[in-house]
Amino acid sequence: MTSIKLSFIVPAFNEEKELPSCLSSINRAIDDLKELSPNSRLESEIIVVDNNSTDETATLATSGGATVVFEPFNQISRARNAGAREASGKWLLFIDADSHIDGEHLRELVERINSKRFIGGGCIVRFDTNALIGRLFLWIWTPISCVFKFASGSFLLCRRDAFEELGGFSQEIFAAEEIEFSRRLKGWAKPRDMGFFILTSHPFITSGRKWRIYSFREIFIHVFRSLFATRSTIRDRNKLPFFYDGRR
């Protein structure tokens, strides 16, 4: 079994509240993998991209054992791309700073990487809150993700050479970049007889804080714009306060 070099890339904008537990989960998952799959040979690194934070994000990232990269332009695509440029792994795993991974996720990833049949993939997600609107969102999103093989932005794996050939995440858009990238990545994989997977046996836990922080009216406006003016909305950061107003 060949050794796998995996780079965890964590974009972070004012994430001092959530980042420490995210980094702890990554380190625990790496340790747990040794017990779940003793024969796995995984090398890893953690890169946190400080996306122009004004809090203690960078300091906490360093104390959590991560390499810190600074990206001054506040855009999730640019942050992920900045992290990928600094990464040394053959495989890149993008995880949001308010999410948690465990050893079982890593075990499944290693199995699929070792199969040499996949160029990347994602995982179904679950929020850490039971808010009705969050459950409704997952009721809609999960089958779309599984059927069309679209990865959630909070958990997206891809092989480095594919990422580089495709030019990474689009910097022309400020939202839905993971869907756009999933589409291009699948297109890159198809003529190479490779696949793109979505893990379904064990949901990935991510924060449901948006459902707590934003009012129903704010969420409704965001959804309305996204559905009926998708192109203009995702290209204009000012129309996406749901992602960029900094509320935490």
pLDDT digits (tens, 9 = 90+) for 53-84: 999 999 999 999 999 999 999 999 999 999 99
Domains and CATH numbers, the chain: 4-209 (3.90.550.10)
Residue 185 pLDDT grade (very low, low, confident, very high; cuts 50, 70, 90): very high
The answer to whether 65 and 26 are in contact (CB under 8 A) is no
For position 56, what pLDDT does the model report? 97
For position 1, what pLDDT does the model report? 57
pLDDT digits (tens, 9 = 90+) for 134-153: 999 999 999 999 999 999 99
Q: Residue 112 above 90 pLDDT?
A: yes
pLDDT digits (tens, 9 = 90+) for 198-219: 999 999 999 999 998 998 889 8
Average pLDDT over all residues of the chain: 95
Find the mean pLDDT for residues 112-128: 96
For every residue of the chain, DSSP letters joined together read ---EEEEEEEEESS-TTTHHHHHHHHHHHHHHHHHH-TT--EEEEEEEEE-S-SSSHHHHHHHTT-EEEE--S--HHHHHHHHHHH---SEEEEE-TTEE--HHHHHHHHHHHHHT-EEEEEEEEEESS--HHHHHHHHHHHHHHHHHT---TTEEEEEHHHHHHHTSS-SS-SSSHHHHHHHHHHHHHGGGT-EEEEEEEEEEEE--HHHHHS-HHHHHHHHHHHHHSHHHHHT-GGG-HHHHS---
Please state the pTM of the whole predicted model.
0.95
